[in-house]
């Protein structure tokens, strides 16, 4: 399995975050570390994973550099940069970090306070398209102004940059699933990220089975990517989600696509 969407940070960073959130069972210095992720991967028989650089509120500076350096010890973990696409140097930074070995970039519009289809982001999108790397967008209710990051805005981006590989993460959550599905149906360069939507631990993101079935029939397993959302979850929950996928009444090829083969093709096509 090649699994997407793992947040990582140095020792102690997630411990502080979980302490503020009042989650005592995760208040350890190893929470969210690459070492702990490697152990989780071994437990779940995951062969490869994608790790995201920390957000600025987790590490003020140098987060992408830290990830590039730290991944040298973990050849089975590939990295995505975490960048504000509206920064004046964002295209140059993206170029630099891809040159340093990262293979994609995560964009979290509510965190960075950027409107998805803001023309000021076009240079960044053009650079990502030229580099042939995927951009992963958080979609789904996450505070801030919904009209700035609702999934439908990605249709304009996908149309303007038809070779840009776009991962619509969380497929909009339950609130915006229909918008995400419409964008996916309309744009073959868009992929459905089903991180955090398969179990009812987070009601705002949980997608019922009938909608997941519709997604598979409409989009196809060749454009669906599973992720953990590590460390925001538990070993038990991730194991359950993988079991859910393996229990779906779809072909073994479809399951292999969703559990890593689609992600492999998205990443490898950038080489």
Q: Where are the domains of the chain?
A: 2-268
pLDDT at 221 over 90: yes
Q: What is the pTM of this model?
A: 0.95
Contact 207/198 with Cβ under 8 angstroms?
Answer: yes
Q: How would residue 19 be classed by pLDDT, with cut points 50, 70 and 90?
A: confident
Contact 104/81 with Cβ under 8 angstroms?
Answer: yes
* Homologous superfamily, domain 2-268: Metal-dependent hydrolases (3.20.20.140)
pLDDT tens per residue, range 168-199:
999 999 999 999 999 999 999 999 999 999 98
pLDDT tens per residue, range 89-139:
999 999 999 999 999 999 999 999 999 999 999 999 999 999 999 999 999
Q: Who has greater pLDDT, 88 or 270?
A: 88
What number is the average pLDDT over the span 2-13?
Answer: 94
What's the rounded Cα separation, in Å, for the pair 88 and 197? 34
pLDDT cut 70: percent of the chain above it: 96
Q: Across the strands, what pairs with 2? A: 48
pLDDT at 24 over 90: no
Q: Who has greater pLDDT, 152 or 201?
A: 152
Nearest to 177 by CA among 195, 196, 156, 150: 150
Q: Across the strands, what pairs with 190? A: 166
Dihedral in degrees, nearest 10, Cα atoms 98, 70, 135, 207: 170
pLDDT at 28 over 80: no
What's the rounded Cα separation, in Å, for the pair 49 and 263? 10
Quote the pLDDT of residue 3.
98
Quote the pLDDT of residue 271.
47
pLDDT at 45 over 60: yes
Question: Using alpha carbons only, what angle is made at residue 230 by residues 152 and 180, rounded to the nearest 5 degrees?
Answer: 10
What's the rounded Cα separation, in Å, for the pair 226 and 228? 7
Quote the pLDDT of residue 247.
95
Q: Mean pLDDT across the chain, nearest whole number?
A: 94
Quote the pLDDT of residue 202.
81
What's the rounded Cα separation, in Å, for the pair 145 and 168? 18
Contact 262/204 with Cβ under 8 angstroms?
Answer: no
Quote the pLDDT of residue 123.
97
Dihedral in degrees, nearest 10, Cα atoms 60, 120, 123, 90: -10
Q: How would residue 23 be classed by pLDDT, with cut points 50, 70 and 90?
A: confident
């Amino acid at each position: 399995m090649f699994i997407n969407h793992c947040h990582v940070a140095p020792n102690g960073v997630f411990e502080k975050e979980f302490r503020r959130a009042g989650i005592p069972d995760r208040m350890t210095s190893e929470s969210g570390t690459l070492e702990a992720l490697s152990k989780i991967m071994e437990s779940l028989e995951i062969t490869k994973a994608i790790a995201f650089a920390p957000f600025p509120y987790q590490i003020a500076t140098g987060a992408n550099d830290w990830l590039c350096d730290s991944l040298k010890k973990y050849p089975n973990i590939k990295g995505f940069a975490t960048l504000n696409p509206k920064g004046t140097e964002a295209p140059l930074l993206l170029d630099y970090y891809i040159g340093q070995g990262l293979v994609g970039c995560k964009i979290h519009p509510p965190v960075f306070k950027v409107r998805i289809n803001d023309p000021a982001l076009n240079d960044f999108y053009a650079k990502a398209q030229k580099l042939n790397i995927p951009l992963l967008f958080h979609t789904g209710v996450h505070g801030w102004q919904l009209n700035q990051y609702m999934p439908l805005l990605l249709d304009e981006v996908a149309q303007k940059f038809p070779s840009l590989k776009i991962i619509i993460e969380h497929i909009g959550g339950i609130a915006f699933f229909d918008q995400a599905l419409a964008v996916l149906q309309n744009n073959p360069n868009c992929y459905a990220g089903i991180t955090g939507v398969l179990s009812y631990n987070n009601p705002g993101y949980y997608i019922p089975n009938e909608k997941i079935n519709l997604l598979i029939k409409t989009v196809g397993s060749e454009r669906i990517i599973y992720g953990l959302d590590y460390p925001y979850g538990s070993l038990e929950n991730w194991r359950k989600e993988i079991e859910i996928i393996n229990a779906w009444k779809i072909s073994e090829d479809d399951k292999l696509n969703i559990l890593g083969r689609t992600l492999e093709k998205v990443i490898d096509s950038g080489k």
